[in-house]
Chains A and B, each alone.
Chain A
Amino acid sequence: MSRKSERLVNLTIALLATKRYLTKTEIFTSIEGYEGTPETKERMFERDKDDLRSLGIDIEVGSFDPLFNDEAGYKIKQEKYQFELGDISSIEVSLLSLAAQAWQEASFGDVAQKALLKLRSIGIPSDELSIPATVHKLNDGGQDLSVITKAIAQSQRLAFAYLDSSLSVKMRSVVPIALSTRNSFWYLSGIDQEIQAIRTFRVDRISGSIAASDGPRDFETPPGFDSSKTLSESPTHDFAMIDVRVGKASSLRTLAISTQSVGEWDQITIPILNLDSLSSMVLWHGPDAFVQEPAELRDLVVEHLIALVENHG
């Protein structure tokens, strides 16, 4: 085991140091660790190449001299091997260190730790205390996050079972375009393949595992799509007018785009994202909230109230 690691490190050093492509023959005669019959060496080398690639090390294959049909050669380009962040200041290293620390024990905690070690290895001292910010921990989104981010980068199609609002599980097929976190939940936005429209899903409502497959060809993110707005701004132009008692209903007030005082009550305007969840919020506030408009929302609230009276009488 130790011999294998040693051979891989030596191979990396040699391929990084060489200015020209090294042929297999040169590799076998000069790099320590290649032993046995020609076939054994060949097999060892093929496996070593795959192993280094899986570690993210890019081995270039090229020809020693393009004019002759030479044996293929190998090398690793230094600029591809190393962490190229360009000129970087101590403040920037500090910012990145804080960014990595946000993960702590959450989904990308281990990888963030590795990124942090690489950052520190650049050799520029960081001073996190100079940054006036307290970073909160990112929430754990489980292993799904890495599947989703990979799919975003490669425009893959994701298939998963999703719990809808009536508690039934439906299969969804989505080409993801954004991942975001808000109020400690992770959200995935993408093009729902069945309806060809953008939909947003809460990651913890996905049941079971997510399957990734090749996405549609020539997939492009819809123009004008802004991931930071998928959750906060609605595509709708429908608004509700709700009376709330002065000093009450703070959670409805935080959604309001305007507030008008009418004596003991304030009249607030709220964009309607989802009629069911808004009626539920109104009901939560009991006699402290009263729907003025639209009729659709008022009817829904009244319908629930009738049922509540019947079911508790």
Chain B
Amino acid sequence: MVSKFSAPLERTARLLDLVPYISSHQGVSLKELAKLFKVDESQMTSDLTTLWMCGLPGYTPLELMDLNFESGFVTIHNAETLSKPRAITFEEGVALVLGLDLLRSAISPDRSDLLERIELLSQRLAGLIKLPSALSATSVVNQEVSGAIADALKSRMGLQITYHSLYRDEISTRIIFPIEIVESEGQLYLSSYCYTASDFREFRIDRIQGAAVQVVQREIPKKSVQQSRYTCTIKVLTPTRAVAERFKQSELQVNTAFDFETYSFQWIERSIMASGRALSLQSPPDVRNSIAVMAQTMLDRYKAR
């Protein structure tokens, strides 16, 4: 991220924030300070040297801050004026209020003690930065599921999950060995080895409806079976935002076609159905045909009513 402030201002802010941190963490190592404040060690040494020259007017040893850092560990004395952390900025407050809101949705409803504290903290913070209470963040992930995932990853255990597959429209129970949590296009996935499918799979965490830690044999194959990809050709009849977002197309033009790669014909079939009159699948021909048949069957049912 590009810094909002010029270098000397950025540094001034850091100097002001260093004093309360060192005051409350006497003996902290210079190395750790550098890491926390995201500068290299020589910059940190130079910062501490500058602070050492600062203090109350008079600037004799009586008024100057007393810093010690030659040993690689930092202590500070005579710095009472700056020893309290600075007020939080508007953005820092917003970040904390939204974070607290997310935290609220991750805590079990029977911990009303914690939920009340979160509410109070959130109000106090909003008051400090004069923020109207209009920010909210919720987590869609079931907190028992996320707890079990965290446990399994930490202890290298397996999981039994109930999973909703969107394009198969099925809820299945699977035994998996979770490997890691990965993010893709704003969604979190649990990358795993699935014993049920005997292959590697990625499960969207918000579609895992239940999870429990389970003992599994840890021998998993090294290599994934290559999943085959299919190419479809799709013709645009009416450009809509829903189509653009579903097929990740930035531009859509009437009567032009685009190619789309998919792992699942089921997904493509459902997606074309859901797009209704906006699209026409050109190829593969058998999927095209099955869409026509499915639509006709449904139509007959509506007409028979």
Contact = CB atoms under 8 A, between A and B. Distances in A.
A14 to B, nearest CB: 6
Interface string B234-254: 000101111010000000100
A298 interface: yes
A180 B102 CA distance: 10
8 contacts: A95-B121, A103-B95, A133-B103, A149-B131, A179-B134, A184-B186, A309-B295, A311-B279
Interface string A104-135: 00001111101101111111000000011111
Given A136-B102, A228-B138, A283-B273, 10 more contacts: A83-B87, A121-B17, A150-B90, A153-B130, A163-B241, A178-B135, A184-B188, A302-B302, A311-B279, A312-B289
B100 A312 contact: no
A311 B275 CA distance: 12
Nearest to A106: B95
B54 A309 contact: no
B143 A54 contact: no
A63 interface: no
Contacts of B137: 102, 138, 180-181
B139 interface: yes
A135 B106 CA distance: 6
A124 to B, nearest CB: 8
Interface of B: 1, 5, 7-9, 11-13, 15-17, 20-21, 23-25, 36-37, 46, 50-51, 53-59, 81-82, 84-96, 98-100, 102-103, 106-108, 111, 114, 117-118, 121, 124-125, 128-141, 143, 146-147, 149-150, 164, 166, 169, 171, 183, 186-188, 206, 237, 239-242, 244, 252, 269-277, 279-281, 288-289, 291-292, 294-299, 301-302
A82 B289 CA distance: 70
A277 B242 CA distance: 9
Contacts of B289: 312
Interface stretch (A233-241, A244-252, A255-263, A265-273): A244-252
A92 B121 contact: yes
A304 B277 contact: yes
B165 to A, nearest CB: 9
Interface residues of A, number: 116
B265 to A, nearest CB: 13
B131 to A, nearest CB: 5
From A78, A138, A221, name the one whose CB has the most chain B CB atoms within 10 angstroms. Answer: A138
Contact of A102 (B55, B99, B134): B99
Given A81-B86, A110-B1, A135-B103, A96 B292 contact: no
A72 interface: no
A158 interface: no
B71 to A, nearest CB: 22
A20 B55 CA distance: 18
A305 interface: yes
Contact of B87 (A56, A140, A181, A247): A56
A1 to B, nearest CB: 5
Q: Is the interface of A mostly helix, strand, loop or mixed?
A: helix
A44 B276 CA distance: 67
Interface of A: 1-2, 4-6, 8-10, 12-14, 16-17, 30-32, 51, 54-57, 78, 80-86, 91-92, 95-96, 98-103, 108-112, 114-115, 117-123, 131-140, 146, 149-150, 152-153, 163-167, 177-185, 205, 221, 227-228, 247-251, 276-277, 279-281, 283-288, 290, 298, 301-309, 311-313
Contacts of A183: 140, 206
Nearest to A125: B24
Contacts of A109: 1
Nearest to B281: A312
Given A99-B99, A120-B24, A167 B85 contact: no
Contacts of A120: 21, 24-25
A134 B55 contact: no
Contacts of B206: 183-184
A290 B164 CA distance: 21
Contacts of A152: 131-132, 134-135
A311 B276 CA distance: 10
A181 B99 CA distance: 11
A166 B37 contact: no
A95 B299 contact: no
A5 B8 contact: yes
